[in-house]
Amino acid sequence: LKLYLVAVLTVLSACNKPAATTTVTVAGDDQHTVVARYNGTNITLKDIEEKAGKQLRDLEKQKYEIRSQAVEGIVIAALVKAEATKVGQTEDQWVKAQLEAKLPKPSEEEIKKVFEENKARMPPDSTVESMREQIIAFIQRDAQRDAAMSIFADLKKKANYEMLLKEPEEPRVQVAAIGPARGPEGAKVTIVEFSDFQCPF
């Protein structure tokens, strides 16, 4: 795997051809679109929303996340390639150089300590020298991810990157302001507080 994909998610999408369907549309709001019928009774999009609204909204969020991750992957790969080309390097070489500039080298004491603590799980006849690169990668694992994200963020900022995909809006729910209250009934602003009185906090 290339280094410049360390912090980039690869999104695979499969396309399935939908089965042919017949939709009957009723004049008015989309919620009144008829999607099925039995014994003369219509099932509309509103019925579906009432039955499976949460699952459908979760799917919309997942679709947005997959698309936004794909956009990020495309943009970052292109920006890294452009920067690497400027200095005559491969993408791997460019990212490695950037990471090395950001990440401090572990001390010999740190390397030896990790080696001794994990020696039993290493291949037979392993030495500090033979495992040095793996140990350094282990020590720097979290820091490397953060550094890579920082590098990619800087690239996007320089390129005036802007995400234009719109995140699905959360549905508004009308809540009846009933129950114990303070203040006049005709107040211009009403705050409804939800609480779990069995919660220990």
Query: For residue 28, what pLDDT is reported?
Result: 42
- Extract the tokens encoding 77: 């790969």
Place of tokens 């400027």: 86
pLDDT tens for each residue of 156-182? 999 999 999 888 887 777 777 788 889
Query: CA 113 to CA 159: how far, in whole Å?
Result: 42
- Count the neighbouring beta carbons within 10 Å of the beta carbon of residue 140: 18
Q: What is the pTM of this model?
A: 0.58
Burial class (CB in 10 A: 0-12, 13-18, 19+), 95: buried
Query: CA 170 to CA 15: how far, in whole Å?
Result: 27
pLDDT tens for each residue of 67-79? 999 999 999 999 9
- Count the neighbouring beta carbons within 10 Å of the beta carbon of residue 152: 22
